[in-house]
Amino acid sequence: MQFALNEDQIAVRDMALAFAAEKIAPHALRWDEEKHFPVDVMREAATLGMGGIYIRDDVGGSAMTRFDAALIFEALATGCPTTSAFISIHNMASWMIDAYGSDAQRQTWLPKLCTMELIASYCLTEPGAGSDAAALRTRAVRDGDTYVLNGQKQFISGAGGTDLLVAMVRTGGDGPGGISTLVIDGKTPGVNYGANERKMGWNAQPTRAVMFENARVPVANRLGEEGIGFKIAMAGLDGGRLNITACSLGGAQTALDKARAYMKERKAFGKRLDEFQALQFRLADMAIELEAARTFLWRAAAALDRKDPDATMLCAMAKRFGTDVGFEVANQALQLHGGYGYLSEYGIEKIVRDLRVHQILEGTNEIMRLIVARKLIEGAR
């Protein structure tokens, strides 16, 4: 069990905090307003090792742990949860290639993914297959040395602005056993993109549908054997859930810090806001919840690193708890700002908008409860 960071972990966290403060935070509101995808800044982060955090070092990865990644993504999210979240998605897609790809595949794609010269999207969700991901219908029919793809993916982060699509497709029959994973060049003929979705938050990264219309993808681009794609997707999501939880905590920590600073300056009824005991108690509860969620995240990350048999359940638990806490703390911070919290210039309303989707993506928090409940019930038999 780990209750304190060692010197190396502190250095990693502080590096990411400094990068967020200098390169991300000053621009986050503008990126949100302009719907700007800050690829140049993300590539700067990659020069510090954040493009392939837990990718093996023989292909240029940083070979760090999931625990390290949790520290990094929380730190980056103090500057902008949206930007941090996309870097986490890129890392998740890259890890799938590292973990399940052949040596030739790893050497082909990962060196440029680690530098973010190439940027990757993760493609699982479809218009009719969200929480029920095993029901996906995008079909890949083998034709000699290629697959011919037809179907549609929905809510794909970075789509249209990324180079590679790590996509789950149906190569066999119904159910999870018929799913395979393909790495697809984003400019392949027959791969088309929908309009950039108009969203509540996460505006600093594009979100589009991806349509496959007789798109031909080499069989050599398949990760592993046919039929293990669902397993690959779910393994990726264990880490993805930790990452998005970390992003929630980073955004919420910034919101809490902004609320504390505001309460020192704002006066009502002749007193500073931080002199009212009721508001002091609210601040205390926000800090307690954040610290509890952070401790839970660390435990789940450590479990995933050591391949604990309960790691999937712990990742689901941490995601449900941490993303709910993150949103609620940010929402309370907005409330403590009163009417000013509703104004974009204070930066709180953006954090609230960005963190809301974390309770939905990487598996909704209802699905997190289902994962936990199934594990508990199976263990009771």
**Based on the number of CB atoms within 10 Å of its own CB, is 163 exposed (0-12), middle (13-18) or buried (19 or more)?**
middle
> Which residues contact residue 5 at a Cβ distance below 8 angstroms, ignoring those fewer than 6 apart?
13, 71
126 carries an active-site annotation: no
DSSP string of 70-126, one letter each residue: HHHHHHHHTT-HHHHHHHHHHHHHHHHHHHHS-HHHHHHHHHHHHTTSS-EEEE--B
Q: What does the block give as tokens for 147?
A: 């697959």
Contacts of 110 by beta carbon, 8 Å cutoff, 6+ apart: 52, 55, 59, 60, 61, 94, 97, 98, 101
Q: What share of the chain is helix, strand, coil (3-state, %, to 5)?
A: 60, 15, 25
Residue of 74, 126, 289, 362 marked catalytic: 362
- Pair of tokens at residue 292: 């509890």
CA dihedral sign of residues 273, 274, 278, 283: positive
Residues catalogued as catalytic: 362
